[in-house]
Amino acid sequence: MVDQYDVIVVGGGPAGSTTAGYLARYGHRTLLLERSQFPRHRIGESLLPSMMPVLEDFGLVEACRNAGFVEKTGATFIWGKTREPWDIRFSDTPFLPSGFAFHVERSVFDQILLDNARRCGAEVNMNATVLEAIREGDRIAGVVYRDGETGGTQAVRAKFVVDASGSASIIGRQVTERRYDDQMRQVAMYSYFKNVRGAQDFRNKHIIIESCPKGWFWFIPMNSERLGEVSLGLVTGREFEDEIRAKGIEGFYNEALSEAPYVNELIGPKAERLEEIQAVRDWAYTCDETAGPGYYLAGDAAAFLDPLLSTGVSLGMLAGYSSSVCIHSVLGNPEMEAAAAKFYSNNYRQMYEVTRDFLHYFYAGNASAHPNDLFWQARRMLKFDENIGAKQAFSFFINTIPGNPHPALQKQIPMFHQFMNNLDHSVNEVKEPAGMEKIVTGGFRSARELSDEDVPIVNGRLESTWRINRASHTLEPIRGITFDRDRPVFSSTSSWLLGRNVSPLEDSACDLMELMDGESPWSTIIGNFSGKAGLPLEEARKRTAEIVAPLLAEDYVLVQGRAAAQ
Ligand SMILES: Cc1cc2nc3c(=O)[nH]c(=O)nc-3n(C[C@H](O)[C@H](O)[C@H](O)COP(=O)(O)OP(=O)(O)OC[C@H]3O[C@@H](n4cnc5c(N)ncnc54)[C@H](O)[C@@H]3O)c2cc1C
């Protein structure tokens, strides 16, 4: 049968509209099917700088300003050992792609993105509910949907289906297993207020998060005619099910609010609630495969993480970009299908795992603030890898690039220390991960020149993988060194979705690094290199020195042994 479309995107939230916008822009016949009529309400109002390049790509930053969205400049936490607020200011972290993001009214923001997808050339059908996938062998080859206008069902076929249907994950549930994070099955209750006092200083553009005995509150400044000036939500636990039933949602929420003094002060005495308090599920999950034959899952359809770090919408948009690049690459070169799916799935899995570990670490680190409260006693037990938690915290705050210390580190290192000092974990507790032990206990160090008896080791992992070419929006092969979860420094959470932090290296450098087993000295390596390359020993030594000089300069290669002669 003939495919009517290149791609069908299910769902018109941030993930779906971003995917459809890019694919249509790359010239592919794209159909987006959205169940509801817009505008429609959604929770998830505070965004991250990591999604700003997407808005910039589409020229939508001005549209967001014109919509009156508050420019978000950072986050303030009342979290940890003291009740003193502490801040993350985006402008202090120069490796973020933007110094600000937005706090948005989702019904307006999602409409902006959907209109943009349409403008880019995607065909958009509203009131179109996808019912099931069309399968062809093990391939997803289209969908069946109900047309809300006519009441009839339609079958449409495409080379790819992107499921961006949010937590409904209508296709995802048919093709892969969802895995819940049993330790993070939470509940959220939220509403909107006007006539609030708000922060009286630079924090008036921050999301403010205050932990309280029953969980934590978000205070998101908004600027909405309909929803007022503040979105105020409580994240709490399943352990209170009975209490919530007894007190009612409103009673429970108000009682929790009375135990959050900082937020109460921000709300002020004149605040008026504009809506009923709504309760929603906040259960973290991921799934086994986020891409496979004929399908990709993006946004909440793929995975959901607790909102403490405000990651949801931004991750959905980055997944939209990443899935569009993968599909664009495969439509241009069908032989890449398996590699592209693997690239996407691996990135999703790693992003989910490191962020989940960091969230567990963040929660557990607040336990001593409320030592006798049920919610926090349970979170003290959260499982995480102490190393990953601290290292992720480090990269979250420092955002550094290996071998490229930036003057702004002077500001970022205190931010990291402030974080670690506030939480119950101490920096000293951090143990070196398996690979690092060797480096640390073996006394590996920087060197700038070859010395026969030095033993070199690769300070990272050599990989042959793929990366996104931002000019052609396709995947291209890359060979180089990665700094990933086993390494001391790695890139910030969101960027995991776009592929790992690979520093490209020439084949000659990779070939040489493959000979570094952490035990052989340079003399042996040069001998092996001479044999492999068919070069006389002296020439091999000269060539090795040339190849290795930039690797030593960047600390991609460390050495063990006496200090190299200067
Ligand atoms: C309590 C709470 C607080 C949060 N706070 C934040 C925050 O501060 N910042 C943040 O970034 N994120 C936050 N999030 C997360 C955020 O809400 C989601 O991550 C985000 O909305 C995901 O976008 P999406 O495009 O994947 O899905 P959605 O926004 O859910 O969009 C999915 C779309 O698919 C449509 N759809 C569903 N089923 C079908 C079907 N069968 N056929 C056709 N269409 C269908 C739906 O109508 C919907 O429009 C929060 C979440 C919760 C629960």
Side chain identity, residue 480? G
pLDDT value, residue 106: 97
ipTM at complex level: 0.99
**Over residues 332-349, mean pLDDT:** 95
Q: Encode pLDDT of 156-214 as tens digits.
A: 999 999 999 999 999 999 999 999 998 888 999 999 999 999 999 999 999 999 999 99
Distance CA 227, CA 219 (A): 13
The residues near 445 (Cβ < 8 Å, ≥ 6 apart) are 558, 559, 560
What does the block give as tokens for 108?
A: 């307006």
Residue 385 has pLDDT above 50, yes or no: yes
Using a 6 Å cutoff on CB, does residue 187 contact ligand 1?
no
Tell me the best of 43, 45, 219, 317 to mutate to test the pocket of ligand 1, counting ligand atoms within 8 Å of each CB and taking the most.
Answer: 43
Q: Please tell me the predicted confidence (pLDDT) of residue 354.
A: 76
Residue 400 one-letter amino acid: T
pLDDT at residue 27 above 50? yes
Phi, psi of 67 (to 5 degrees): -75, -5
Ligand 1 center to 164 CA (angstroms) = 9
From residue 434, alpha-carbon distances to 60, 166, 452 in Å are: 45, 37, 27
16 C-beta closer than 6 A to ligand 1 = yes
Span 180-282 CATH architecture: 2-Layer Sandwich (3.30)
How many secondary structure helices (H) and strands (E) does the chain include? 16, 23
Per residue in 283-318, pLDDT tens? 999 999 999 999 999 999 999 999 999 999 999 999
| Whole-angstrom distance, CA of residue 544 vs CA of residue 564 | 16
Q: Over 80: is that where the pLDDT of 403 sits?
A: no
Which of 79-83, 226-230, 291-295, 391-395 shows the highest mean pLDDT?
291-295
Q: How far apart are CA 50 and CA 54, in angstroms?
A: 9
Please state the atom number of ligand 1 nearest to the C-alpha of residue 281.
53
The answer on pLDDT for 488 being more than 70 is no
Give CA separation, 386 vs 317, 393, 421, 436, 534, in Å: 29, 11, 15, 15, 47
pLDDT, tens digit, 9 for 90 and up, residues 82-126: 899 988 888 877 667 888 999 999 999 999 999 999 999 999 999
498-536 confidence digits (pLDDT tens)? 876 677 899 999 999 999 988 899 999 999 999 988 999
Range 5-68+103-179+285-347 has CATH code 1.20.120.1200: no
Tell me, in angstroms, the distance from the centre of ligand 1 to residue 304's CA: 9
Pick 196 or 437 by higher pLDDT: 196
Lowest-confidence segment of 248-257, 349-358, 415-424, 451-460 by average pLDDT? 415-424
DSSP 335: G
Residue 334 CA to ligand 1 centre (angstroms): 31
455-460: average pLDDT: 84
What is the pLDDT, as a whole number, of residue 400? Answer: 41
Type of residue at 65: R
36 lines ligand 1 (CB under 6 A): yes
Half-sphere exposure of 62 (CA within 13 A, CB side): 2
How many whole angstroms from 266 Cα to the centroid of ligand 1?
A: 28
- Written as one letter, the residue type at 124 is V
Residue type, 325: V
Is 561 a pocket residue for ligand 1 (Cβ < 6 Å)? no
Pair 416, 531: CB distance under 8 Å: no
The Cα–Cα gap between 422 and 86 comes to 9
Atom 50 (ligand 1) nearest CA: 44
pLDDT at 432: 46
Each domain of the chain, given as residue ranges in start order, spans 5-68+103-179+285-347, 180-282, 356-430, 437-560
Handedness of CA 58, 62, 68, 71 (dihedral sign): positive
- Whole-number Cα distances in Å, 118 to 30, 257, 292, 305, 372: 10, 42, 27, 29, 53
**Amino acid residing at 487:** R
Given this model, what pLDDT does residue 401 score? 38
pLDDT band at 448 (very low <50, low <70, confident <90, very high): confident
70, 300, 321, 359, best to mutate for ligand 1 pocket (most atoms within 8 Å of CB): 300
Q: Is the pLDDT of residue 493 over 60?
A: no
Residue 21 has pLDDT above 70, yes or no: yes
Which residues fall within 8 angstroms of residue 328, CB to CB, at 6 or more apart? Answer: 22, 23, 26, 28, 473, 474
Q: Which two tokens stand for residue 191?
A: 């509403």
Cα(75) to ligand 1 centroid in Å equals 22
Any ligand 1 atom below 6 A from CB of 313? yes
Is residue 537 very low, low, confident or very high in pLDDT (cuts 50, 70, 90)? very high
> What is the mean predicted confidence (pLDDT) over 466-472?
90
Six-digit token pair at 105? 């009214």
Residue 452 near residue 562, CB atoms below 8 Å: no
